[in-house]
Chains A and B, each alone.
Chain A
Amino acid sequence: MRGTLTQFGWKTSLQVILSVILARLRLRSRYKGWLLLGLIIPIVMSAIIIFLGRALGGPRAAENFFLNTGTSNYVAYIILGSNVFMIVSRALWDFGFWLRREQETGTLESLYLAPTSMMLILTGVAIYNALHSIVNFFITFALGCFLFRVNPLQGNIPIALLFLSLGLVPLYGVSLLYGAMVFKLKEAHALIRMAQWVASFLMGICYPISVFPPFLRAVALLFPPTWMSNGVRASLLGVGFFFGTWYRDLAVLSAFCVIMPLVGYSVFLATERRIKRNEGVGMF
Chain B
Amino acid sequence: MIQKLKLSSLALGSMVKKELIIMTRYPVNFLVSFVTSFIMVSMYIFVTLMFAPQRSEGSLAGVGGVGMFGFFLSTFFSSTLWEMASGIRWEQYQGTLECLYLTPASKFSSLVSKVIPNFIWTGFNSLAMLLFAQALFGRLPFHNLGVAAYIFTMTIAGIFGFGFAFAAFTLLVKESAILTANFLQFSLYILCAMFFPFSALPTFLLRISRLIPLSYCIDAFRSTLMGYPPGFPELLPIEQELIIITAFGTVMPLLGYLLYKAAERKVRIEGSLGEF
A-to-B contact residues, CB < 8 Å: 31, 33-34, 37, 40-41, 44, 47-49, 51-57, 61, 64-65, 67-69, 74, 185, 187, 189-191, 193-194, 197-198, 200-201, 204-207, 211
- Say whether B36 faces chain A, with CB atoms less than 8 Å apart: yes
Which residue of chain B is the closest to A216 with respect to CB atoms? B42
Q: Give the contact stretch, choosing among B118-126, B146-154, B193-201, B267-275.
A: B193-201
Cβ of A56 and Cβ of B183 under 8 Å apart? no
Question: Given the interface contacts A33-B176, A44-B186, A64-B53, does A53 sit within 8 Å of B39 by beta carbon?
Answer: no
Which residue of chain B is the closest to A56 with respect to CB atoms? B51
25 contacts between A and B (CB under 8 A): A31-B179, A33-B176, A34-B179, A37-B182, A44-B186, A48-B190, A53-B51, A56-B52, A57-B51, A57-B52, A64-B51, A67-B53, A68-B49, A74-B51, A187-B28, A190-B33, A194-B36, A197-B39, A200-B39, A201-B39, A201-B42, A206-B43, A206-B46, A206-B50, A211-B49
Cβ of B50 and Cβ of A207 under 8 Å apart? yes
A201, chain B: closest CB distance, angstroms: 5
Q: How distant is the Cα of A51 from the Cα of B182 in the complex, in angstroms?
A: 20
- Say whether B204 faces chain A, with CB atoms less than 8 Å apart: no
Interface residues of B in 197-222 (CB under 8 A from A): 197, 199-201
Given A64-B50, A194-B36, A206-B47, 5 new contacts (CB under 8 A): A55-B196, A55-B197, A200-B39, A200-B43, A211-B49
- Say whether B35 faces chain A, with CB atoms less than 8 Å apart: yes
Q: How distant is the Cα of A194 from the Cα of B46 in the complex, in angstroms?
A: 19
Chain A contacts for B255, CB-based, 8 A = none
A16, chain B: closest CB distance, angstroms: 29
Cβ of A207 and Cβ of B47 under 8 Å apart? yes
Number of A-B contacts (CB under 8 A): 107
How many chain B residues touch A (Cβ–Cβ < 8 Å)? Answer: 38
Cβ of B186 and Cβ of A68 under 8 Å apart? no
Q: Which of B40, B50, B63 contacts A65 (CB 8 A)?
A: B50
The 6 residue pairs across chains A and B that have the minimum distance between CB atoms: A55-B200, A51-B200, A57-B51, A190-B29, A56-B51, A52-B196
- Say whether B48 faces chain A, with CB atoms less than 8 Å apart: yes
Which residue of chain A is the closest to B42 with respect to CB atoms? A201
Cβ of A52 and Cβ of B195 under 8 Å apart? yes
Q: How distant is the Cα of A61 from the Cα of B199 in the complex, in angstroms?
A: 14
Q: How distant is the Cα of A98 from the Cα of B46 in the complex, in angstroms?
A: 33
Cβ of B51 and Cβ of A37 under 8 Å apart? no
Q: Which of A48, A189, A194 contacts B189 (CB 8 A)?
A: A48
Chain A contacts for B67, CB-based, 8 A = 52
Cβ of A52 and Cβ of B39 under 8 Å apart? no
- Say whether B32 faces chain A, with CB atoms less than 8 Å apart: yes
B91, chain A: closest CB distance, angstroms: 16
Cβ of B196 and Cβ of A51 under 8 Å apart? yes
Q: Which of A31, A61, A190, A204 contacts B51 (CB 8 A)?
A: A61
Interface residues of B in 5-49 (CB under 8 A from A): 26, 28-29, 31-33, 35-36, 39-40, 42-43, 46-49
Cβ of B46 and Cβ of A54 under 8 Å apart? no
Q: Which of B29, B32, B47, B186 contacts A52 (CB 8 A)?
A: B47
Cβ of A51 and Cβ of B49 under 8 Å apart? no
Listed residue (A31, A44, A185) with the most chain B CB atoms within 10 angstroms of its CB: A44
Chain B contacts for A197, CB-based, 8 A = 35-36, 39-40
Which residue of chain A is the closest to B198 with respect to CB atoms? A55
